[in-house]
Chains A and B, each alone.
Chain A
Amino acid sequence: MSHLELKNVSKSFGPVEVLHQVDIEVKDKEFVVFVGPSGCGKSTLLRIIAGLEKATSGEVMLDGEVVNHLAAADRGLAMVFQSYALYPHMSVRQNLSFGLENTKTPKDKIEERVAEIARMLRIEELLARKPRQLSGGQRQRVAIGRAMVRRPGVFLLDEPLSNLDAELRVTMRAELAALHKRLDATMIYVTHDQTEAMTLADRIVVLRDGRVEQIGTPLELYNRPANRFVAGFIGAPHMNFLEGRFTGGDDGAARIELDGGHVLLLPIPARPEGEPITIGIRPHHIETEGGQARIPATVTLVEALGPETIVHAEAEGQPRIVAALAGQRSITSGNTISLALDERFLHAFDADGKRIEESRVAEEI
């Protein structure tokens, strides 16, 4: 059992508060990813869980017990560092066995465990080498192996793939996912890359400026982002945001006029006329025909990727709209096209960036 709970955790470095009352629950055997832009406090949060950093206030609970006072070694966790932090003067074998030696594990047991891990990670031939004689991917494996030898209940991984090249990152991502299944352990994984978060996570925690913005499964976050920040952060290419204001309607539907003059009807409760609203739509939900509100736009850039075509365009009052059109299109920059927004996938955010729920949903609750 490895159940982790953070309650009201805050952290300050001197006068600067970098984490604000964070509440997170991680269930046993879950793969949770903390994602957010660089500097938002992900590493700090992970280090607080690990015991390398002390929370200024709040509680860290492992299996129902408060562990704030416990030293890093006594929490039964293992960590993979962003820089791998392999001991440069020790061979791979020594790197793997160091932790076991420290806990006075018998020699034959250590050998057995190291051999098992080496086999599992396919680093048997590397055991006699020093870290500097390894490639990036091999170092990565050793770092994971070092975390695995002591069979911890919870793995903490701080941007473990960010030092690898793009191709290797994809391979390692798949291996990590497989490893999680095999090890049957809780994993907490930190990254600034939303693709990694989407592909790996059971649940994602989105952080910004030391605050939790939203917690949910990848698809929950994709389909129902709680605010403009999450909407913009999750999904690639990024969601388009169109500015507009309420111009009428009722509880069931609101009339919205976009800057530039186009009018939309949205299934959300109407608000006082003139109140600003932001409409979000993902590039994949824009087409050139059908749908609501055809917005004439001038194409500024076309990226033909093969299976799809990414079109950057400018419309009156809306400086930049990106559309991902399926298949190959004969559009060139300078063309004028009309953009049709698929009304089923429109998101609405109020002036504070908070999601405005649809009326139907609001009624149901």
Chain B
Amino acid sequence: MTAEARHETAGERLAGLLLAPVRWGMNLIDRPMTWLQRRLGLGGVAAAFLAPNLLVFGIFVLFPMMLNVAYSFTGGGALFLNNRVFVGTLQYETLLSCRDFLDASSCREDRFWRAVGNTGFFVIVQVAALVLISLATALVLNREMRARGFWRAVFFFPVLLSPVVVALIWKWILQRNGLLNAVLVELSFEPTLWLVNRGWAMFWAIFLSIWAHLGFYTLILLAGLQAIPRELYEAAEMDGAPSWRVLTRITLPLLWPNLVVVILLALIRAVQVFDEVFVLTGGGPGTATLFLVQYIYETGLAQQVRNLGLASAASILMAAVLIVLTLVQLLASAWRERKEQR
């Protein structure tokens, strides 16, 4: 018995027991890796470390990305590329042929344009509301208060819930005999069929996605607020600056880099809206809450007659928007980091 073994706690012993198979496995891999190291040197070892991730990555991300482009130029119902017919830009033409771009019903593929219109509307309203509410919540949480951890958790926890759970929680409240209608009746209002009315369905789609993601953005903004040196506020106070000016001249300018990142992240997410809304409304009533991802999913995979080409073309168009947004976001992040270092 060594001194160390005597001092081992129960927890450490348990960890040791759990780690034993891991240790065994790792030692097993050590041999081939050492052999590789002797044969190929450090460069070879690096390649070996990268290989599993890159392999999976190549097969399931990189290759499909290229395949997507290829699909968008082919037609027919076959699943595999070698059985598909090359049709040139036909799919794009189908998607983009409209007599009047402001009127979805004048388009060849009117569901696509309704999805584009819905998504556009959703993105603008949801991001604006989401950012404003997150900002307000972050400012409130940044005040000195008791039990701040609790309040932060209150706004944050829906972030961790699955979209299905989020949708079901609200669907239960919004249904005909649901809590919301009960409250309205109690206050002597008319009960409403929330998810059957086109306008309300969109409202609740937006509401739901704000409810679910609010905490995430609040957290990032809160971190930004807490990074603002307290002395700045104290200096402003010494200068007798009115609080409106403190907000517009100190808080917001210093928070601005974070705000930009938050806006862009929210935009990127909003363009991809799908899960919660799909479970809540199924895209309905009619096409009132049909969004782009659902259009792609249904056109390419969920319909009786799959139209892979059309779905791919639509997803390429969507990817283009996302790539632009992400590039801007990366630039903004880099800019924020540079600012923070100063």
Which residues of A come within 8 Å of B, CB atoms?
Answer: 91, 93, 111, 127-128
Closest-by-CB residue of B relative to A115 is: B2
Q: Distance in Å from the Cβ of A98 to the closest Cβ of chain B?
A: 14
Give the complex CA separation of A93 and B7 in angstroms: 13
> What would 7 more interface pairs be, CB under 8 Å, given A91-B4, A93-B4?
A93-B2, A111-B2, A127-B3, A127-B4, A128-B3, A128-B4, A128-B7
Cβ < 8 Å to A, chain B residues 18-39: none
Give the complex CA separation of A340 and B7 in angstroms: 68
Give a binary string over B1-19; 1 marks a CB under 8 Å from any A CB, 0 the rest.
0111001000000000000
Which residues of B come within 8 Å of A, CB atoms?
Answer: 2-4, 7
Give the complex CA separation of A260 and B300 in angstroms: 95
Closest-by-CB residue of A relative to B5 is: A128
Instruction: Name the residue in A93, A111, A128 with the highest tally of chain B Cβ atoms < 10 Å from its Cβ.
Output: A128
Chain B residues within 8 Å of A93, by CB: 2, 4
Q: Distance in Å from the Cβ of A234 to the closest Cβ of chain B?
A: 39
Closest-by-CB residue of A relative to B2 is: A111
Chain A residues within 8 Å of B2, by CB: 93, 111
Chain B residues within 8 Å of A128, by CB: 3-4, 7
Closest-by-CB residue of A relative to B41 is: A71
Chain B residues within 8 Å of A127, by CB: 3-4
Can you pick out 6 interface pairs between chain A and chain B where the beta carbons lie within 8 Å of each other? Answer: A91-B4, A93-B4, A111-B2, A127-B4, A128-B4, A128-B7
Q: Distance in Å from the Cβ of B7 to the closest Cβ of chain A?
A: 5
Q: From DSSP, what is the main secondary structure of chain A's interface residues? A: loop
Chain B residues within 8 Å of A91, by CB: 4
Closest-by-CB residue of B relative to A111 is: B2
Q: Distance in Å from the Cβ of B210 to the closest Cβ of chain A?
A: 43
Q: Distance in Å from the Cβ of A94 to the closest Cβ of chain B?
A: 8
Chain A residues within 8 Å of B3, by CB: 127-128
Enumerate the 3 nearest inter-chain pairs by beta-carbon distance, A residue then B residue, closest first.
A128-B4, A128-B7, A93-B4
Q: Distance in Å from the Cβ of B39 to the closest Cβ of chain A?
A: 13
Give the complex CA separation of A91 and B5 in angstroms: 12
Closest-by-CB residue of A relative to B6 is: A128
Q: Distance in Å from the Cβ of B9 to the closest Cβ of chain A?
A: 12
Chain A residues within 8 Å of B7, by CB: 128
Q: Distance in Å from the Cβ of A30 to the closest Cβ of chain B?
A: 32
Chain A residues within 8 Å of B4, by CB: 91, 93, 127-128
Give the complex CA separation of A91 and B12 in angstroms: 13
Closest-by-CB residue of B relative to A91 is: B4
Q: Distance in Å from the Cβ of B334 to the closest Cβ of chain A?
A: 24
Q: Distance in Å from the Cβ of B258 to the closest Cβ of chain A?
A: 32
Q: Distance in Å from the Cβ of B278 to the closest Cβ of chain A?
A: 45
Q: Distance in Å from the Cβ of A118 to the closest Cβ of chain B?
A: 10
Closest-by-CB residue of B relative to A94 is: B4
Q: Distance in Å from the Cβ of A303 to the closest Cβ of chain B?
A: 41
Give the complex CA separation of A128 and B12 in angstroms: 13
Closest-by-CB residue of A relative to B8 is: A128
Chain B residues within 8 Å of A111, by CB: 2
Give the complex CA separation of A93 and B3 in angstroms: 10
Give the complex CA separation of A246 and B329 in angstroms: 70
Closest-by-CB residue of B relative to A92 is: B4
Give the complex CA separation of A127 and B4 in angstroms: 8
Closest-by-CB residue of A relative to B38 is: A71
Closest-by-CB residue of A relative to B4 is: A128
Give the complex CA separation of A91 and B4 in angstroms: 9
Give the complex CA separation of A128 and B7 in angstroms: 8
Give the complex CA separation of A127 and B3 in angstroms: 8
Closest-by-CB residue of B relative to A114 is: B2
Give the complex CA separation of A93 and B2 in angstroms: 10
Q: Distance in Å from the Cβ of A24 to the closest Cβ of chain B?
A: 27
Give the complex CA separation of A128 and B3 in angstroms: 7
Closest-by-CB residue of B relative to A93 is: B4
Q: Distance in Å from the Cβ of A171 to the closest Cβ of chain B?
A: 27
Closest-by-CB residue of B relative to A124 is: B3
Closest-by-CB residue of A relative to B37 is: A71
Give the complex CA separation of A75 and B7 in angstroms: 36
Q: Distance in Å from the Cβ of A317 to the closest Cβ of chain B?
A: 48
Q: Distance in Å from the Cβ of B288 to the closest Cβ of chain A?
A: 56
Q: Distance in Å from the Cβ of B112 to the closest Cβ of chain A?
A: 53
Give the complex CA separation of A93 and B5 in angstroms: 11
Give the complex CA separation of A308 and B4 in angstroms: 53
Give the complex CA separation of A53 and B3 in angstroms: 38
Give the complex CA separation of A111 and B5 in angstroms: 13
Give the complex CA separation of A61 and B231 in angstroms: 60
Give the complex CA separation of A128 and B2 in angstroms: 10
Give the complex CA separation of A128 and B9 in angstroms: 12
Give the complex CA separation of A309 and B3 in angstroms: 54
Q: Distance in Å from the Cβ of A196 to the closest Cβ of chain B?
A: 34
Give the complex CA separation of A204 and B7 in angstroms: 46
